[in-house]
């Protein structure tokens, strides 16, 4: 008779509550807005790390509560269910990127400076929060249809901000003429793929990766100059 498959070992997640005690709370009402605070963030952090290692299907609510020494009542006070946990991980991930690129787009910087700052922001966000971005990109297919539509809207908003900066640079003659939507998705793909290969203890540091990406993108988009000094596209 075949032996049941063993659960994959998971590295210990060192997340501690401020008071060191087991959290006990009443379950949250269905459909209520997510509660905030350090306890909710601890749940999201633990959930992201577990889903990064085990995937959405392989992670249970019990896994999260066990990691944090939580009761299920405390978990449900902050998060409605496992799918809602994935949704909150996804929305927090995208919210950080959205807030950053929106602020950069509104600044008075030149288009090339804005583009460089956006690349810097994307690379650092992904490198510093690998669990959240890994879960978002690899597990978002498990979101409900309504939640997937919500995160897709934010994705498009982020891509739209980047695309507008590219259009601004092309209009000013700073960037060569190209399809701004294609260029935007190429840049996003390059930056977000960092979650797949970047290691904090690896040879390349975050600053090195960002500088390399900025050089590749900005030099590739830079409008050329002919011998007569006229811009060429």
State the Cα–Cα distance between residues 228 and 226, nearest whole angstrom: 5
Report how far apart, in Å, the C-alpha atoms of 158 and of each of 27, 100, 163, 165, 180 are: 34, 9, 9, 11, 13
- The CATH number given to whatever domain includes residue 204 is 1.10.357.10
Within a domain: residue 186? yes
**Dihedral sign from CA coordinates of 88, 191, 181, 163:** positive
Residues 131 and 57 in one domain: no
Computed over every residue of the chain, the mean pLDDT equals 86
pLDDT per position as a tens digit, 107-125: 999 999 999 999 999 999 9
- The CATH number given to whatever domain includes residue 44 is 1.10.10.60
pTM of the model: 0.78
Task: Give the pLDDT mean for 122-147.
Answer: 96
Within a domain: residue 13? no
Choosing from 80, 107, 134, the residue where a domain stops is 80
Residue 62 sits in which domain range? 38-80
pLDDT per position as a tens digit, 62-91: 999 999 999 999 999 999 999 999 999 999
Confidence of residue 223 (pLDDT cuts 50, 70, 90): confident
Residues 49 and 128 in one domain: no
Candidate from 33-47, 120-134, 149-163 with smallest mean pLDDT: 33-47
Give the DSSP letter string of 9-49. Answer: P--------TT-SPB--PPPPTTPPPP-SHHHHHHHHHHHH
State the Cα–Cα distance between residues 10 and 53, nearest whole angstrom: 7
pLDDT per position as a tens digit, 8-65: 444 444 444 443 344 444 444 545 555 667 899 999 999 999 999 999 999 999 999 9
- Coil, helix or strand at residue 60: coil
Residues 73 and 149 in one domain: no
Residues 103 and 67 in one domain: no
For position 37, what pLDDT does the model report? 75
Nearest-5° Cα angle at 87, 86 to 88:
95
Within a domain: residue 27? no
The torsion angle over the Cα atoms of residues 118, 109, 167 and 173, rounded to 10 degrees, is: -130
Q: Is the pLDDT of residue 155 over 90?
A: yes
């Amino acid at each position: 008779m075949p032996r049941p498959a063993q659960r994959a070992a998971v590295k210990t997640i060192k997340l501690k509550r401020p008071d060191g005690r087991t959290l006990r709370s009443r379950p949250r009402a269905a459909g209520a807005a997510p509660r905030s605070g350090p306890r909710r963030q601890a749940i999201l952090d633990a959930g992201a790390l577990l889903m990064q290692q085990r995937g959405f299907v392989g992670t249970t609510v019990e896994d999260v509560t066990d990691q944090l020494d939580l009761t299920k009542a405390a978990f449900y006070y902050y998060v409605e269910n496992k799918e809602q946990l994935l949704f909150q991980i996804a929305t927090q991930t995208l919210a950080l990127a959205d807030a950053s690129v929106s602020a950069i787009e509104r600044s008075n910087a030149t288009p090339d400076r804005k583009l460089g700052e956006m690349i810097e922001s994307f690379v650092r966000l992904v490198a510093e929060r690998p669990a959240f971005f890994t879960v978002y990109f690899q597990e978002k297919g498990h979101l409900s249809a309504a939640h997937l539509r919500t995160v897709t809207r934010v994705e498009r908003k982020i891509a739209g901000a980047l695309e507008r900066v590219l259009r601004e640079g092309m209009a000013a003659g700073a960037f060569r003429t190209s399809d701004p939507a294609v260029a935007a998705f190429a840049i996003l793909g390059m930056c977000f793929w960092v979650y797949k290969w970047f290691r904090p203890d690896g040879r390349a540091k975050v600053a090195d990766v960002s500088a390399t990406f900025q050089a590749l993108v900005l030099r590739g988009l830079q409008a050329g100059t002919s011998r007569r000094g006229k811009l060429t596209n």
